[in-house]
Each structure stands twice: as C-alpha cells, then as structure tokens.
Amino acid sequence: MEIAVSQGSAGRTIISLKGPLSIHTLFKFQEVVRSGSTPVVIVDFSEVPFMDSAGLGSLVGAHVSGRKSNRKFVLVGLNKQVRALIEMTRVNELFNSYNTIQEAEAAVV
C-alpha cells in the first residue's frame, strides 16, 4: 500500500491510500493516522480496490482514538466493495462519506 499525506484547505489533513487496506497493510495506515494531530482528517479511498475486516478494524480504531483527541475522520471515494463492507457492519454510522475530496472539504466544518 502507498500512502500520501497532504494538507487540504483550512488545515485539514488528506490521507490518500493506494492499494488494499488489509491485515498486511494496516500497520502503515495506523502509523500515519497516529502521527497526525489536525482536527479533521479526510481519508481518500478512491484507489483502494479492497478492504478486509482487519482494515475495517483499523478505521474503527482511528475513529475511537480520534474521538479521544477531538479529531474527525471523513471518508471519500469508496468503491462498491468497501462501501458494502462499511454499511453491512454499520460502521457507516461512525463516518461521514463523500464522493470527492472537494465535497468533503466543503461539507466538513
């Protein structure tokens, strides 16, 4: 998995993922998430073809740790497989999701 971190508008952090988020790649994702401190993090899934239950668990972990430090995680670019997993497990109730980074930046205050 490749991970690129950039700054969005108003001090938001954008984490762009490329490749599957799975048991084999989640440690790098967790390291990047834990290293940041901005109040809003946009996680771009537009180049994530697959996510397994361990990857889903890492998202939930990011949400839980983020709540403790008053950080908000927003998801963008979910494909059908990733969206189905998130909805089936009701994790979608924890995250707002948008089609594009631009939509997320406009919606998140």
pLDDT in tens, the chain (109 residues): 999 999 988 889 999 999 999 999 999 999 999 888 899 999 999 999 999 999 999 999 999 999 888 899 999 999 999 999 999 999 999 999 999 999 999 998 6
Distance separating alpha carbons of residues 47 and 100, to the nearest angstrom: 12
A 10 A CB-CB count for 21 gives 25
Range of the domain at 23: 2-107
- Give the pLDDT of residue 16: 97
Q: What is the pTM of this model?
A: 0.92
- Give the pLDDT of residue 8: 86
Q: How many domains does the chain have?
A: 1
The residue among 104, 106, 108, 107 whose CA lies nearest residue 46 is: 104
CATH classification at residue 96: 3.30.750.24
- Give the pLDDT of residue 36: 84
- Give the pLDDT of residue 37: 84
- Give the pLDDT of residue 96: 93
